[in-house]
Copies of this chain bind each other. A is one copy, B any other.
Amino acid sequence: MKRFFITIEYDGTGLVGWQRQDNGPSVQQYLEEAALALTGQETLIQGSGRTDAGVHALGQVAHLDVPDKFDARAVMMGLNAKCQSDKVRVLSSREVAPDMHARFSATYRAYLYRILNRPAPAALLRHQVWHIPQPLDVDAMQEAANLLIGSHDFTSFRASICQARSPVRTLDRLVISREGDEVHIRAEARSFLHHQIRNFTGTLALVGKGRWTPQMVQDALLAKDRSAAGPTAPPQGLYLTDIRF
In the bound assembly, the distance between CA atoms of A92 and B86 in angstroms comes to 34
Tally of chain A residues near chain B (CB < 8 A) = 23
CB distance from A126 to the nearest CB of B (A): 5
Cross-chain contact A126 with B11 (CB below 8 angstroms): yes
Q: Does A76 contact B (CB under 8 A)?
A: yes
Could you say which residues of chain B place their CB within 8 Å of the CB of A120? 9, 76, 80, 89-92
Name the residue of chain B whose CB is nearest to the CB of A27: B123
Per-residue interface assignment for chain A, residues 141 to 184, with 1 indicating a CB less than 8 Å from any chain B CB and 0 otherwise: 00000000000000000000000000000000000000000000
Q: Does A101 contact B (CB under 8 A)?
A: no
Could you say which residues of chain B place their CB within 8 Å of the CB of A91? 118-120
Which of A58, A76, A121, A128 has the largest number of chain B CB atoms within 10 A? A121
Could you say which residues of chain B place their CB within 8 Å of the CB of A58? 124
In the bound assembly, the distance between CA atoms of A9 and B128 in angstroms comes to 15
Could you say which residues of chain B place their CB within 8 Å of the CB of A4? none
Q: Does A66 contact B (CB under 8 A)?
A: no
Cross-chain contact B88 with A9 (CB below 8 angstroms): no
What are 30 A-B pairs at a CB distance below 8 A? A9-B122, A9-B123, A9-B124, A10-B123, A10-B124, A11-B123, A11-B124, A11-B126, A56-B124, A58-B124, A76-B119, A76-B120, A80-B120, A80-B121, A86-B121, A86-B123, A86-B126, A87-B123, A87-B126, A88-B123, A89-B120, A89-B121, A89-B122, A89-B123, A90-B120, A91-B118, A91-B119, A91-B120, A92-B119, A124-B128
